[in-house]
Amino acid sequence: MNKLEKGIEKVYQAVLRDYLEMKREVSLRQAYEIGRQAVLEDVGLLRIVTVHHQLLAGLNDGRKTAEILSAGDFLRETLSSFEMIHRGYKEMVGALKQRTNELDETNRKLSELNETLETKVAEKSAAAEKKSQELVRVNHELEQFVHAAAHDLKEPLRTITSYVQLLQRSYQSVKDDEAQEYVHYVVEGTHRLQELIDDLLSYTRLNDRSQPHQLVEMPKVFREALSSLETVIKETGAQVTADGLPSVTANRAHMSLLLQNLISNALKFHGKDPPKIHVSARRDAGQWVFSVSDNGIGIDRKYFDKLFVVFQRLNTRDEYPGTGMGLALCRKIIEQLNGKIWLESEVGKGTVFYFAIPF
Amino acid sequence: MTLPTLEEYRPMKVLLVEDNVPDVVLIKEAFKESKRIIQMTVARDGQEAIDCLKGGGHFKAPLLPDLVLLDLNIPKKSGFEVLSEIKNDSVLHDVPVIVLSNSSLDTDIQRAYDSHANFYIIKPPDLEHLFTAMRYVEKIWLGGSLK
């Protein structure tokens, strides 16, 4: 019996004596209180009842036995449900405590997992960033390589072209039709090669972002384009007009190239009627939408996707000359401005090219 | 009728500084049909060009040409170095120098003119353009006439 139990037992003895002196009601209530306290202190109801019966055994007073017994029964009965509730409560608290510990453990594990995840994500991000930077670098190297290669090709090509033409001259008087024809094809081949290389260089030069954007007056650019294409316009008897052209913030040289290419195409792909070309622009929700329309041969819808692909041609070289790069160039220029280029066309009914430049 | 002076008939002296043999042949070919007689001296590199103009190396006496056709891309001394030496020389600085180059870069063209080149020609891509260019050169610097 520990100190606590001894203390309670002593108090209970005193109460019992009291009860025996006929102070019944009060003593019983006190006994109840002691019992309740014992339960709360974990001494236990059973112990009190045992103490009760032990004390009883020490008393040889027969006439008080029944009353003393019933006091014990009273204790047992009234306190037992109390004890059950108390025990239940303790169990519940115990269970809650355990659940809380489990939860804390789960939280801790989650926290660890989270940290691991964050580390992994950071690693993956860093790897992706590195890869992205490498791609940009490789792309830049490729652009420079193409530019250098195209540039280096010009020199030997110049020699070939010049000497073949020299040969052509020297053997002009020779009466060999076959040889003349062969030489003619070689000369033509060299011209095409030069055109291709020039176009390729133009395309790669678009990568040069060192030129700052400035306010470009499109009406001026249009007039300059007309001036460059003067000969063709005269030869084809073309009518080229424009209206509503604004100023845009862009690279001036690129805008010049863009308009020239589109108008040049319109002039080139005409039908039997002289070309009628109109360039115009309108505002539309944060962007300028330009249009270049013509009354030419038109383009079949199924070829629309192929149009803007580098070196892709839709006609044979005998029908219409060209390297097939003009529109690829136009698209690259527009895309660098975050704009879009598209067209509407019907075979035999003409074409309208649209390009949009955001403000 | 005025009698022509001797000046109009003397041969024109041209120094061509060019290391690329096919280009040398082409330019000589371009001047074959010139009205004036062209005496062309060819220097194969920058050092030879200076030796020719100032006397040195295997050139016994300096040459004072009527025109220098100077390719920028030459070995030993560079085209720009030769151009500088000519234009900084008290005797040679009046000699017209036409720079020939493959480069169409604004920076190169600007640099040539800043170094006092008299003209900059981007090497023509074919024969006809070359012949036309040389015809103009003749007319402007070699007292010739356009055919």
Domain CATH code at residue B66? 3.40.50.2300
Q: How far is CA A236 from CA A231, A251, A321, in A?
A: 9, 30, 15
Task: Please report residues of A whose CB lies closer than 8 A to that of B22.
Answer: 159, 162-163
Q: Does pLDDT of B3 surpass 70?
A: no
A65 in a structural domain: yes
Range of the domain at B31: 6-141
Please tell me the distance from the alpha carbon of residue B94 to that of residue A258, in angstroms, as a whole number.
44
Q: What is the mean pLDDT of residues A195-216?
A: 79
Q: Residue A125 domain-assigned?
A: no
Domain containing A193 equals: 130-204
- Decide if A226 is inside a domain: yes
Specify if B20 maps to a domain. Answer: yes
A161–B127 CB contact, under 8 Å: yes
Q: What rounded mean pLDDT belongs to chain B?
A: 89
- Nearest-by-CA chain A residue for B102: A155
Q: Which residue has the higher pLDDT, A107 or A21?
A: A107
| Residue of chain A nearest B27, judged by CA positions | A162
Q: Which residue has the higher pLDDT, B114 or A321?
A: B114
Local confidence band at B119 (pLDDT 50, 70, 90 cut-offs): very high
pLDDT of residue A114: 95
**Is residue A263 over pLDDT 90?**
yes
What does the alpha-carbon distance between residue A84 and residue A10 come to, in Å, rounded to a whole number? 25
Residue A72 lies in a domain: yes
Q: Is the pLDDT of residue A226 over 70?
A: yes
**What CA–CA distance (Å, rounded) separates A156 from A162?**
10
CB contact under 8 A, A154 and B125: yes
Cross-chain residue pair B23–A163, CB shorter than 8 Å: no
Looking at the structure, do residues A147 and A230 belong to the same domain, yes or no? no
List of chain B residues whose C-beta atoms are within 8 Å of the C-beta of residue A150 = none
pLDDT exceeds cutoff 70 at A197 = yes
* Ranges A40-44, A63-67, A135-139, most confident: A135-139
CB contact under 8 A, B126 and A169: no
Are A214 and A350 in the same domain? yes
Asked whether residue A64 is assigned to any structural domain, the reply reads yes
A interface test, pick of B126, B128, B130, B131 with most A CB neighbours within 10 Å: B126
Q: Which residues neighbour A79 within 8 Å (Cβ) at sequence distance 6 or greater?
A: A32, A35, A36, A39, A45, A48
What are the tens digits of pLDDT across the range B57-81? 889 899 999 999 999 999 998 999 9
Burial annotation A166-187 (CB, 10 A radius, 16+ → b, else e): bebeeeeeeeeeeeeeebeebb
Residues A192 and A223 in one domain: no
Cα pseudo-dihedral A302, A303, A306, A312, rounded to 10: 150
Q: Are A80 and A50 found together in one domain?
A: yes
Q: Give residue-wise pLDDT tens across range A128-150.
A: 999 999 998 888 888 888 888 88
User: Across the interface, which of A155, A162, A194 has its CB nearest the CB of B130?
Assistant: A162
Please say if the pLDDT value at position A39 is more than 70: yes
Supply the pLDDT for residue A310: 64
Is residue B110 one of the residues assigned to a domain? yes
Boundary-marking domain end, from A184, A204, A224: A204
The total of other beta-carbon atoms located within 10 Å of residue A43's CB is 21
A231: in domain: yes
Predicted confidence (pLDDT) at residue B87 exceeds the cutoff of 90: yes
Alpha-carbon dihedral of residues A13, A19, A21, A23, nearest 10 degrees?
A: 140
Assess whether A220 and A87 both reside in one domain. no
Q: Which of B123, B125, B128 sits opposite A194 (nearest CB)?
A: B125
- Residue A239: which pLDDT band, with cuts at 50, 70 and 90? very high
Summarize the confidence of residues B5-10 as an average pLDDT.
71
A187 & A219 share domain: no
One-letter amino acid for residue A127 of the chain: A
B124: which chain A residues are within 8 Å (Cβ-Cβ)?
158
Quick one: A62 and A192 in the same domain? no
- Report the gap between the CA of B122 and the closest CA in chain A (Å): 11
Q: How many structural domains does chain B have?
A: 1
Determine the average pLDDT of the residues in A199-222.
82
Gap from A206 CA to chain B (nearest CA, Å): 15
The mean pLDDT value of chain A amounts to 84
Could you say which residues from 149 to 178 on chain A have a Cβ atom under 8 Å away from some Cβ of chain B?
154-155, 157-159, 161-163, 165-166, 169
Searching chain B, which residue's CA lies closest to the CA of residue A160? B126
How many Cβ atoms from other residues are within 10 Å of residue B46's Cβ? 23
Position A149 in a domain: yes
Tell whether A115 is covered by a domain.
Answer: no
Taking CA–CA distances from B24, the nearest residue in chain A reads: A159
Residues A266 and A343 in one domain: yes
pTM (predicted TM-score): 0.57
Average pLDDT over residues A284-305: 90
Residue A315 contacts residue A330 (beta carbons within 8 Å)? no
pLDDT at residue A327 is higher than 50: yes
Do A347 and A243 have their domain in common? yes
pLDDT confidence band for A68 (50 / 70 / 90): low
Whether residue A157 and residue B123 make contact (CB cut-off 8 A), yes or no, is no
Q: In chain B, which residues have their Cβ closer than 8 Å to the Cβ of A194? A: 125-126
Total domain count, chain A = 3
**Does any CB of chain B come closer than 8 Å to the CB of residue A190?**
yes
pLDDT band of B147, cuts 50, 70, 90: very low
